Structure formats: C-alpha cells, structure tokens
Amino acid sequence: MPDAPTKWLYDALARYERPLIRYALTITGDLEHARDVVQETFVRLSREHDVADRVAAWLFTTCRHYALDVCRKNNRIVAMQPEEMNNHASEDLQPSAELERKETAARLGELVGALPVNQREVIRLKFDAGLSYREISEVTKLSVGNVGFLIHTAVKSLRDSWQQEAIL
C-alpha cells in the first residue's frame, strides 16, 4: 500500500491512465507515442504538489501539450481513423451483438471524426475522458460557455447525422 503522500498519485494513475492514453492517441495517432506521452505526464504530475483539486484538468492539459510537442517534433499530426481505435467488447456478448456493437461504434467514430476539430476534441474529452465542462475549459483554454456550445452543436450534428442514416 502506498504511503499517504503518494496515494493521490496512485489514485490519479488508476483513474486517468486509460482515458489519457486514448486522448493522447487521438492526437499522436500512434499507441507507443501516446503511452510515452502519458508516462511523461505522470512523471510531471509526481513533481507537482498543489494540483489535487484540479488533477483531471491538469493531467489532460499537460498530456495535450506534450502530445502536441511530440507531434511537432515528429513533424506530423495524424488523425486517427475509427477502425484504428482499440474497441474491446465484453466477453459475455454474443457474436451477433458483438458485431453490431463494433459496427455501431465504428460508425459513431466516423461521425465524430467528421466533426470539426474543436468539436471533436471537446466530445472526446467529455465522453471518452469523462471531464466536466470546467475541466474541458481548462484543458482547451476555451470558456465554459464555448465548451457547452461546442458540445451541444456536436451532439446535435451527430444526432442529425445518425437519424438521417436511419431513414436511408
């Protein structure tokens, strides 16, 4: 069991490691780079002592900046294709349910991928990472109202596209 001063770090690692890797992967387009970015993010967190009340926003902001630095260093920012996303289904699903879930997830990923970059980012931070509007605001440096507007607009666009496909 970790001692009290490091328990918050272990808690943050347990809660945010996977969402951060997914987020970094959407920026870098490479799983190994994403893992490196998240590792460096947690190394940097271990040196911080006054972020406990805003750890999620701090982690995603730091991860975002470092991932963008890695991309600049590699002189490439690659948009990840939905089929490249690592979707793991529950082993309890029947094959037909699994196939339907994968198809739905892939199509939803395509629709999210078609959104403008700023809408795509706030949607992923909200629904993949589970951040609040305030935390997304801190990460992206947008106002909370702007974050809300972008999420609302993106969800409406996704709903309209999904319903349009259902009609066809």
31-41 pLDDT, tens digit per residue, is 999 999 999 99
3-53 pLDDT, tens digit per residue, is 666 788 888 899 999 999 999 998 888 899 999 999 999 999 888 877 777
Is 1.10.10.10 the CATH number for 92-168? Answer: yes
Ranges of each domain in the chain: 1-81, 92-168
SS3 labels along 147-161: HHHHHHHHHHHHHHH
